[in-house]
Chains A and B, each alone.
Chain A
Amino acid sequence: MRLITQIGEWFDRRLQLAAPIREAVEHPVPRNTASWWYVFGSAALVVFLLQLLTGIMLAMIYVPSASEAWSSLQSLNHDVTLGWFVRAMHGWGSNFMIAIVLIHMVQVFLFGAYKFPRELTWIVGVFLLLMTLGMAFSGQVLRFDQDAYWGLGIGASIASRVPFAGPAIVKLMLGGPIIAGATLSRFFALHVFVIPGMLIGFVCLHLLMVLKLGINEWPMPGRIVKRATYTTEYHELTKNDGAPFVPYAVWKDLFFAGFILLAVAACAVYFGPFGPTGQPDPTIIQTAPKPDYFFLWLYALLSLLPPSMETPALLIGPVVAIIGLLLLPFLSGEGEKSWRRRPIAVLTVLLIAITLSTFTHLAGFAPWSPHMNAWSGDPVPQRFLHDSTALQRQGALVFQVKQCRNCHSLGEIGGQRGPALDGVAVRLTQDQLIRQVIQGGGNMPAYGKNLSPAETTALVSFLETLHPANQAPARDASRDAALAQQSEETRAQIQP
């Protein structure tokens, strides 16, 4: 034991780090910040360290070459001892990291911790969030499979819309004119050197400020932050009602971090690694690319925005959001910290959370997308064909072979892109049906060129049978009136 102390003293004589470290870990924190609400920052750091460790392990096997990456991932999954587990830890670690960073951000926002004097801590945190998202996207590219390939195409398509500089940005991003070897290599450099390097630097800054400025005290309704008095008040608080961070508060951080690591490992063991899906071969076009979980909301948004609004929303939206986040501490740097007295803050968080989760949910079943293979050739269910005429049956056949069900459901089976057609005859008259089929409109393609007049007649006569038994089909009242008038005139002519 004495030997260990002697060795320790030998090192400290030269390093002189023991005193500042002791000072840092034992700095007093307000007692009520030793709360389970204050564990997310340290948990994010621990998961980041886990990502560094598992990332280095993966880099020992992974080959950042467009011709080898996919097969090196396969050998990690299947040949290398526990390669699948390290991949799964890295993949799940990434999901957990984004989730924890977001929760940490919401907590900091609701507790008013971004206010004076911690404005810069918040700003550095915003950059840390952006880098974390950058790591998530570039990591998805390194999993060089079909989703990664077409995901890059989506990124390039978005970047190309920047006015003037678009094509140059695309070539800079792809490292050439197409998605190829150079693209993967530069995303490897970003994911492994550039962004992690910046992350480490920014994490150190973030932590340094937490130490220098002190952890945010528990917000009390009515305790107002003023630039003139805050620092003195905070020092009094830590002096009168403070406790050393270690061990008074740190044990909760330790338990939570351990729990998170266990949760990542449990997900890794239970669910396994992510992909890779099919080979990144652009000639295989039978694929429906989807982004990773945390970008699914964007996938849904991109299909639901009106086409004319899309480019402005894509280019201006993120800029406005980032500027808003960066300006936040300057717009409300003083005043109430407690969420109990900040209803707009609470409502903003709720609105964003509900919006993002709704879009994420929508992306899960993609009701806007024609289902490419499903139901294409499925026969029309028998119950729709009882007591039907030859013409109507011919129409049902047209309905089947022209792939109407890629977008329309019938009997609750089929695409959701267009409306369900079970009761279409109640909504549209014969004339309206013919017009809709031939001219399209309301986001439906026009089929005028692809259907012969006979096919259209048959199809519409089948569609006219699609109404509930107890509900009459839609009728054109003026046409009825015209027909009635015509028959009356005929009768008048016959009976002089």
Chain B
Amino acid sequence: MTNENTISRRGLFMKLGILFNGVVATALAVPIVRFLLASVTRGRANGYVSWVPLGSLREFPEGETRLATFRNPNVMPTDGKTVDTACWVRRIAGDEFQVFAVNCAHLGCPVRWFPQSGLFMCPCHGGAYYRDGSRASGPPERGLFEYPYKVENGLITIQAGELPTPGPSAFVVGKKPTCA
């Protein structure tokens, strides 16, 4: 009934059916992929970062390094305590500050400040940093991450919202604060 150059009615319908499903699948793939990549695409334009207050200047005596906590700017109802973040605030003098992420520049463990020896030390793989955040010893390849800060009306505010990681991160790469 059919030779090599013709196609049967049923064969054509099957091929059209496959094509139809292919078109539908492609159309559905767009929202699916956009949903899956939402956390990436939103962050591109620094959509996660904003200014958060750390507290009044009086809480940070000159010449000392103190632990401060702040609430991450983006909060979802199920986040619990994970949105509360710690950072180390070093007040050098007057309005001159350094605000370090607690995350070690090696693999992100929380570093602790030891005022007597003037070092930040990491409990995981033994990274150590000087009081100005620069690398002292151990596996980290760079100094501690710094948050950009500004001082206004007796309040210190930092630009935060992303977990600092040793790769090329969006903003916490030790850049000089823009507004301070």
Contact = CB atoms under 8 A, between A and B. Distances in A.
Residue from B39, B69, B106, B111 whose CB has the most chain A CB atoms within 10 Å: B39
Contact of B43 (A167, A179, A369): A167
Nearest to B123: A288
A372 B112 contact: yes
B157 interface: no
A95 interface: no
A161 B84 contact: no
B82 A280 contact: yes
Interface string A354-386: 000000000000001110100010000000000
Interface in A13-55: none
Interface stretch (A201-209, A420-428, A443-451): A443-451
B57 interface: no
Contacts of B108: 150, 153-154, 156-157
B86 A171 contact: no
Interface in B115-129: 116-119, 121, 123-126, 128
A66 B80 contact: yes
Interface residues of B, number: 59
Interface stretch (A86-94, A303-311, A317-325): A303-311
Contacts of A302: 106-107, 125, 139
Contact of B117 (A66, A161, A450): A450
Interface in B76-92: 76-86
B130 A445 contact: yes
B137 A443 contact: yes
Contact of A289 (B48, B85, B124, B165): B124
A444 B136 CA distance: 7
Contacts of A281: 81-82, 84
Contacts of B112: 285-286, 372
Contacts of A149: 82
A180 B76 CA distance: 8
A176 interface: yes
- Classify the secondary structure of B's interface with A: loop
Given A157-B108, A181-B76, A171 B43 contact: yes
Contacts of A444: 137
B53 interface: no
A436 interface: no
Contact of B118 (A168, A279, A449): A449
B48 to A, nearest CB: 4
B141 interface: yes
Contacts of A280: 80-82
A349 interface: no
B167 A170 contact: yes
Interface in A387-428: 401-404, 406, 417
A370 B79 contact: no
Nearest to B165: A160
Contact of B40 (A67, A168, A450): A168
Contacts of A181: 76-80, 82
A160 B167 contact: yes
Interface in A124-172: 149-150, 153-154, 156-162, 166-168, 170-172
Given A150-B109, A158-B107, A282-B86, A403 B39 contact: no
Central interface residue in B80, B106, B161, B169, by most chain A CB within 10 Å: B80
Contact of B81 (A67, A305, A440): A67
A283 interface: yes
A476 interface: no
A182 interface: yes
A164 B112 CA distance: 31
B65 interface: no
Interface of B: 36-37, 39-40, 43, 48-49, 67, 69, 72, 74, 76-86, 102-103, 106-112, 114, 116-119, 121, 123-126, 128, 130-131, 136-141, 161-163, 165-170
Given A180-B82, A279-B81, 7 more contacts: A150-B110, A157-B106, A170-B163, A176-B39, A177-B43, A283-B84, A445-B119
